Amino acid sequence: MGLAPMWLCSVDMLREYENHPKVLEGIRNKRFMCLRSERLTFYVYRGVEKDYIVVPCRFCSCYDFLLNVLIRRRRCACYHVIGFEIARLRGALLDVRVEDRELVEVLEEVLVYGKSARLRKYV
């Protein structure tokens, strides 16, 4: 199984999700985050209960995307995937510069524990 296609961020898909309550809440609360180090860039959605690694317009580590998009093929995306592009277009991505090691630690926390305490320090 491959990643979701780039058409996920087509004009029609962006319109469909632009007023999605969770996308608007995510933008308002700076949940769509771009973490940059000297060598790495990762996109992370900082959720209330869990955090997710996202490849905008392509992939999300949330259960909804994994189960309903990749496995069951019931949906074409989760709101995190498309919400990142909406946030970027609105200039609402929280862009955080970190050291390489710190970025790796955030990713480890998200992957191992599902939530990063370190990530919350950037807001």
What does the pLDDT read at residue 7? 65
CA distance linking residue 56 with residue 85, whole number of Å: 6
What does the pLDDT read at residue 22? 96
CA distance linking residue 82 with residue 67, whole number of Å: 17
Per-residue pLDDT of the chain (123 residues; tens, 9 = 90+): 344 445 678 888 899 999 999 999 999 999 999 999 999 999 999 999 999 999 988 899 999 999 988 888 888 889 999 999 999 999 999 999 999 999 999 999 999 999 999 999 988
Would you kindly state where each structural domain of the chain is located, as residue ranges?
A: 6-122
DSSP H or E stretch at residue 97: strand 94-97
51-55: strand order across its sheet: 59-60, 51-55, 41-46, 32-36, 94-97
How confident is the model over 72-104, as pLDDT tens digits? 888 888 999 999 999 999 999 999 999 999 999
What does the pLDDT read at residue 100? 95
Written as one letter, the residue type at 85 is E
CA distance linking residue 108 with residue 118, whole number of Å: 11
